[in-house]
């Protein structure tokens, strides 16, 4: 059942204007394969083997939650109706029937009042929120006791490192905000900050992984870089190995209440 909501939270990013560009850039190639491989590996290794109530907040194209919908009760939400339409089309192809909600996460407080979830997914959302710290109160309200929180977020340290490698020193000295068509966020949250939120909230970290820990940093593709399957395998291999996981363009923390 869909519940379109027209009142967007003005400080949060809505990808309606670049939904097709988002779909192509984020999941249309090797970058998307790596992201899905790491996230699916982390979840499969730690989630219990029983039906779960799942909420995907800021789901975008909802690849992870749509796959979960084959065995679990899933609610998929996003502020963008364009993204939800794309997710609905994929759901039809997969023959799954999750519930879809078009709304900023702040409005879910009323729409889902009294409900709790065994797993909340929040992937690539924090960095697009006007006030990212406030979403922790939402998790506290809707995550069940012993529930799992899957947080994937942009790693600002990776942008600094990439600019150093590429010689873009001017970007470090005088950073320019990304334009509206860019998928590089202007408001990323550092790992230490996110970890402190989780620690203060009484969460236990089950695993932490880097997504794209080396492949984005290679300006010249050579040898194994030319074999996508090998790249994915090596990304998985080093995604949880210190110190390489900390260099991921995105970081994934799976935590338990």
Q: Name all domains of the chain by residue range, CATH numbers in brackets.
A: 15-256 (3.40.50.150)
Q: State how far the Cα of 214 lies from the Cα of 142, in Å rounded to an integer.
A: 35
DSSP 19-61: HHHHHHHHHSSHHHHHHHHHHHHHHHHHS-SS--EEEETT-TT
pLDDT at 2: 42
> With contact defined as beta carbons under 8 Å apart, do 122 and 135 qualify?
yes
pLDDT at 15: 46
Name the phi and psi angles at 95, rounded to 5.
60, 45
pLDDT at 9: 57
pTM above 0.75, yes or no: yes
Query: How distant, in Å, are the alpha carbons of 99, 166, 178, 213, 240 from that of 160?
Result: 39, 10, 14, 14, 21
pLDDT at 171: 86
Q: State how far the Cα of 161 lies from the Cα of 50, in Å rounded to an integer.
A: 41
Tens-of-pLDDT digits for all 257 residues of the chain? 444 333 445 565 554 555 455 555 666 689 999 999 999 999 999 999 999 999 999 999 999 999 999 999 999 999 999 999 999 999 999 999 999 999 999 999 999 999 999 999 999 999 999 999 999 999 999 999 999 999 999 999 999 999 999 999 998 988 776 655 556 787 899 999 999 999 999 999 999 999 999 999 988 889 999 999 999 999 999 999 999 999 999 999 999 99
> With contact defined as beta carbons under 8 Å apart, do 150 and 239 qualify?
no
Terminal Cα-to-Cα distance of the chain (whole angstroms): 29
**What is the C-alpha radius of gyration for the chain, rounded to an integer number of angstroms?**
18
Which residues carry a binding-site annotation for S-adenosyl-L-methionine? 35, 58-59, 78, 123
Which residues carry a binding-site annotation? 35, 58-59, 78, 123
Q: Where are the beta strands (DSSP E) in the chain?
A: 53-56, 73-78, 99-102, 117-123, 143-154, 204-211, 250-256
Going by C-alpha positions, the residue among 68, 43, 35 that lies closest to residue 239 is 35
pLDDT at 7: 42
């Amino acid at each position: 059942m869909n519940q379109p909501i027209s009142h967007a939270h003005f400080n949060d990013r809505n990808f309606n204007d670049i939904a097709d560009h988002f779909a192509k850039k984020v999941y249309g190639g090797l970058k998307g394969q790596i992201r899905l491989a790491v996230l699916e590996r982390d979840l499969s290794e730690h989630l219990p083997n029983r039906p779960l109530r799942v909420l995907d907040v800021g789901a975008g194209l909802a690849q992870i939650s749509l796959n979960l919908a084959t065995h679990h009760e899933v609610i998929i939400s996003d502020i963008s109706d364009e993204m939800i339409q794309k997710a609905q089309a994929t759901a039809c192809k997969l023959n799954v029937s999750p519930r879809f909600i078009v709304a900023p996460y702040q409005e879910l407080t009323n729409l889902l009042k009294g409900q709790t979830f065994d797993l909340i997914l929040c992937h690539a959302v924090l960095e697009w929120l006007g006030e990212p710290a406030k979403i922790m109160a939402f998790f506290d309200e809707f995550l069940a006791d012993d529930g799992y929180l899957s947080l994937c977020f942009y790693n600002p340290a990776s942008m600094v490192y990439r600019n150093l490698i590429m010689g873009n020193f001017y970007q470090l000295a005088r950073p320019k905000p990304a334009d509206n068509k860019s998928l590089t966020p202007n408001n990323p949250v550092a790992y230490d900050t996110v970890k402190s939120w989780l620690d203060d909230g009484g969460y236990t970290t089950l695993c932490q992984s880097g997504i794209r820990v080396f492949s984005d940093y290679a300006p010249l593709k050579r040898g194994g870089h030319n074999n996508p399957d090998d790249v994915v395998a090596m990304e998985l291999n080093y995604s949880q190995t210190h110190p390489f996981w900390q260099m991921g363009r995105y970081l994934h923390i799976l935590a338990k209440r």
